Chains A and B, each alone.
Chain A
Amino acid sequence: MELTLWTYEGPPHVGAMRIASSMKDIHYVLHAPQGDTYADLLFTMIERRGQRPPVTYTTFQARDLGGDTAELVKKNIKESVERFKPKTLLVGESCTAELIQDQPGALAKGMGFDMPIVNLELPAYSKKENWGASETFYQLTRTLLKEKVSSSEKISPLRWKELGRRPKVNILGPSLLGFRCRDDVIEIQRILSEQGIDTNVVAPLGASPDDIERLIDAEINICLYQEIAEASCEWLRRNFGMEFTNTIPIGIKNTIEFINEVHNKLDLPMTNKEELEHKSKLPWYSKSVDSNYLTGKRVFIFGDGTHAIAAAKIAKEELGFEVVGLGTYSREMARQVRATAKELNLVALITNNYLEVEDAMKKAAPELVLGTQMERHSAKRLGIPCSVISTPMHVQDVPARYSPQMGWEGANVIFDDWVHPLMMGLEEHLIDMFKHDFEFVDGHQSHLGHTATKTGDSVNSEDKEDKNSKEGIIWTESGRAELTKVPFFVRGKVKTNTEKYAILRGIPEISDETLYDAKAYFS
């Protein structure tokens, strides 16, 4: 049993709903009690979709349990097929139905329909949303393409040359409730087409079962979100020899690397390489003198695997931040996140527990948090500015304007979204210079007002209550006065370090001088 006050991912059948809702001509019959229909609002409210998810819930009740719930399943399947006439039917169960073992998928297959039926077995007590989405997409791909496996030859990435046309690729992984997927697809398609590459199919977002059957008309697959598409890409490689890309085009360097990877795979000559660097404003904005203040800003990153890894790289290499924490809730991507963390001399935080994340965040004392909707709340409580980079998200993270994360425009968006919560360059200098002016009270942020000064103080409420350390070390008047001059976001850290230093040296009283000694010692 796991105690949760907040969960980063929904159950696996919600992942399946993400695939079904992303696609056309598909219907999902979900054996589930009435309350599970709440999942619809994730799509209609958070994503502001004007359509209901194509899902029929069987709505079984306690009084049905003694009787024949299997009949209820069949009735719902029949009605759904008649009403919605899907080209492919997904059948599955939610956590409760899994326990009563009606096997709705098998029931559906026995009903004599002539459309493909995908039987989804998604273990609700051990797996979660992203896994469910990935498995659903994989099962769907497999079901729709398995008859073509034996008849088809391996697909060469160079086939386009033989056929005398532009190379074609599939873009796999974007789905509803993914982070800015819709805009990412537009951006990536544009970049590819500039390079003379055509998009064959985008899936699951906007695809129909017919499109899935057409996947093998492309030469390679672009695995855009590994959480969702990697399993399908692997299967397509095993069975059709289709290669797929590994680089996620988030950030300038990754985008260039991505374009490179695609060209290499397709054996396409890379054109005007140096021009690529100028496609986005990020490099120049990052270089401009106002950005000087960004140097070494301490940033804490937590999110899904894909976005957390990308964020770490951009933060360090493209914005000149110092990454002081990196983690993910995606256990499936723990290995990659650990590797990235290691390169940064960090130990990755792999957890589902937001309180652990909050603790780590507090300890790392960052100046900026890049996280999910939950980290937005934790950061607010700690008085630290935050930008959301990953699901789970709030309705405001589905903006009306075009705001991809990937490609050139994505890099622009990232520069703005991450940097705006911070103070701007000259502004920070001025505040520093005039910080003794009475207007600049402790914790003053900027006219942007993203963080409340009140909550900023609350980080230190602990310090205020217990002015002296637990080990019996006393802070003198001068020591305490000096400590309050330290910016609030690192104050906790400075306090612990100074005390550590005092203990080490056997100093019983901490004065302003001790604080400076400690500072020198630890730097």
Chain B
Amino acid sequence: MSKVEFNKETGPREVFCGLTSIVWLHRRMPDAFFLVVGSRTCAHLIQSAAGVMIFAEPRFGTAILEEKDLAGLADAHEELDRVVNDLIARRPEIKTLFLVGSCPSEVIKLDLATVAEKLNKRFLGKVRFVNYSGSGIETTFTQGEDGALKALIPLMESSDEEKLLLVGTLANNVEDRFKKIFRNLGISNIESFPPRQSTELPKIGKNTKVLLTQPYLSDTVRDLKHLGCEIISAPFPLGIEGSTEWFLSAAKAFKISELKVHEIISPLINRAKLALESHKEILKGKRLFLLPESQLEISLARFLHNECEMDLIEVGTPYLNKDLMKEEINLLPDNTKIVEGQHVEKQLDRVRESNPDLVVCGMGLANPLEAEGISTKWSIEMVFSPIHGIDQAADLAGLFSKPLRRNQILTSKTLVRQ
């Protein structure tokens, strides 16, 4: 790992908090509801950052704390009870209700675990209550998913059946593809966590082999390990290389020969390589700067360098779990500069100095950078788009080639005539 240069930075950040992950989690589990216990800021965050505007009646909402709730915790508990009752009366189809903690609820020490416990007794057999924190004082952007999944683990029954458990939210079509490929490899017992219905949680035990699909699930992994699951060490299934290694690692855990894996996936690889060509043409030799946001940055950097031949200037990540990222870091080119944490101003200084061709960043920074003449790609699109797997490699590359292509179209021909 010596070939990678690690840096840590502290200072003002420009990232979402963990509440944001509600937006993809609620799509994944349509029978669940996410109730943030927080402030007007929290409510405004999910509606603005996540475009609640596009959902008629979303399966998430906020119980906004008011002056009187701050005055006495007892009252706050009562109020929360009332809100939950109203909500369940309105949405009787809800099977699992996540009580999501926020910064304010944590600072006033609102004990959502106790509330959930009480509600579980009251709604026994009808609705299940779980709680986790998506607060910005504890979690960044994608870490909220880690909290939500961790909260579900105690509800999972045990089973010693041998199975492959894919952990991390995937788009449904990607999940289907993966399952099909694993079945072709000879692994037939495959489940996903989170499941498509919150009530259909997989059973786990000492013969459960866990394969992560997302790099931001440290706590979930730790708990699964405690319950006896075996964690398969692998890079993440982004791009051809990452996905291949990922399949190989799983196959190894199930004692399936490498040959077999190659036999099954090589047609996919050939197809994907072909599809990648046109994007590579644009991306090749272009200089990339990744600001920290989703924790997918390291995997993306690896893909964009190794398969699209981009040059890496800096790879930011809000948080680094070296253990989980070990395999990824091994695949990075020599002298990659990784910066953990953020001081957004200093980082932007470095962006300007290094004059990159493309910057991956959060939505708040994108237009200002564009206005300075720097092409950008929003991080948030990465967590909303199906980007995992060999079949999606070209689509993933497309997310990065598009802004560059656009820039070419606009500057070279139509707008600026030199």
Contact = CB atoms under 8 A, between A and B. Distances in A.
A59 interface: yes
Contact of A10 (B19, B44, B364): B44
Interface of A: 1-7, 9-11, 13-14, 33-42, 44-45, 48-52, 56-62, 64-65, 76, 79, 83, 94-96, 99-100, 123-126, 128, 373-374, 377, 381, 394
Contacts of B60: 5
Contact of A5 (B57, B70, B135, B363): B57
Given A7-B43, A7-B44, A59-B12, A34 B61 contact: no
23 contacts: A1-B65, A1-B66, A1-B83, A3-B64, A5-B52, A11-B39, A11-B44, A13-B41, A14-B44, A34-B13, A34-B17, A36-B17, A38-B44, A38-B364, A40-B363, A44-B366, A50-B371, A62-B106, A76-B12, A96-B137, A123-B67, A125-B66, A125-B69
- Max chain A CB contacts within 10 Å: which of B64, B76, B345? B64
B202 to A, nearest CB: 30
A44 B53 contact: no
Contacts of B52: 5-6
A42 B70 CA distance: 28
**Which 6 A-B residue pairings sit nearest by Cβ, starting from the closest?**
A35-B17, A50-B371, A35-B136, A40-B364, A33-B136, A95-B39
Contact of A34 (B49, B63, B87, B136): B136
B407 to A, nearest CB: 15
A124 B66 contact: no
A501 to B, nearest CB: 32
A100 B107 contact: yes
B49 A96 contact: no
A3 B19 contact: no
| Residues of B contacting A: mostly | helix
Contact of B13 (A1, A37, A48): A37
Contacts of A42: 48
Given A10-B41, A37-B15, A96-B103, A1 B135 contact: no
Contacts of B135: 33, 35, 62
A373 B53 contact: yes
Contacts of A76: 12
Nearest to B76: A1
B136 A49 contact: no
Given A1-B79, A10-B41, A76-B12, A37 B364 contact: yes
B368 A1 contact: no
A123 to B, nearest CB: 8
Given A10-B41, A41-B364, 7 more contacts: A5-B61, A7-B43, A7-B64, A9-B40, A11-B44, A33-B17, A76-B12
Nearest to A394: B53
B367 A49 contact: yes
Contact of B49 (A9, A11, A38, A60): A38
Contacts of B140: 34-35
Nearest to B52: A6
Given A35-B45, A95-B39, A45 B64 contact: no
A123 B68 CA distance: 13
Contacts of A374: 53
Given A58-B12, A94-B41, A4 B370 contact: no
A40 B14 contact: yes
Interface of B: 11-20, 39-45, 47-49, 52-53, 56-58, 60-67, 69-70, 76, 79-80, 82-83, 86-87, 103-104, 106-108, 135-138, 140, 345, 362-368, 370-371
Contacts, number: 189
A37 B11 CA distance: 13
B319 to A, nearest CB: 11
A65 B58 CA distance: 33
Nearest to B144: A35
A33 B103 contact: yes
Nearest to A13: B41
Given A37-B15, A45-B367, A59-B13, A124 B39 contact: yes
Contact of A377 (B18, B49, B56): B56
A1 B44 CA distance: 15
A381 B41 CA distance: 27
B388 to A, nearest CB: 26
Nearest to B107: A99
Contacts of A45: 363-364, 366-367
A96 B44 contact: no
Contacts of A64: 137
Contacts of B70: 99, 125
A39 B363 CA distance: 10
Given A1-B76, A3-B87, A96-B107, A125 B65 contact: yes
A200 to B, nearest CB: 30
* Max chain B Cβ within 10 angstroms of own Cβ: one of A33, A40, A60, A123: A33
Contacts of A56: 12, 345
Given A34-B15, A373-B53, A44 B43 contact: no
Contact of A50 (B43, B66, B103, B370): B370
Given A1-B64, A1-B82, A38-B49, A62 B137 contact: yes
Contacts of A6: 47, 52
Contacts of B107: 65, 96, 99-100
A128 B362 CA distance: 26
A65 B137 contact: yes
Contacts of A57: 12-14
Contact of B104 (A9, A59, A99, A381): A99
Contacts of B47: 6-7
Given A6-B52, A62-B106, A38 B45 contact: yes
B298 to A, nearest CB: 20
Contacts of A2: 63-64, 66
Given A6-B47, A38-B16, A125 B67 contact: yes
A44 B41 contact: no
Contacts of B363: 40-41, 44-45
Contacts of B364: 37-41, 44-45, 52
Contacts of A128: 40
A4 B64 contact: yes
A45 B53 CA distance: 14
A11 B135 CA distance: 17
Contacts of B83: 1, 3
B69 A1 contact: yes
A238 B52 CA distance: 43
A128 B39 CA distance: 11
A122 to B, nearest CB: 11
Nearest to A124: B39
A2 B42 CA distance: 13
Contacts of A7: 40, 43-44, 47, 62, 64
Contacts of A123: 67
Contacts of A3: 61-64, 83, 86-87
A51 B368 contact: yes
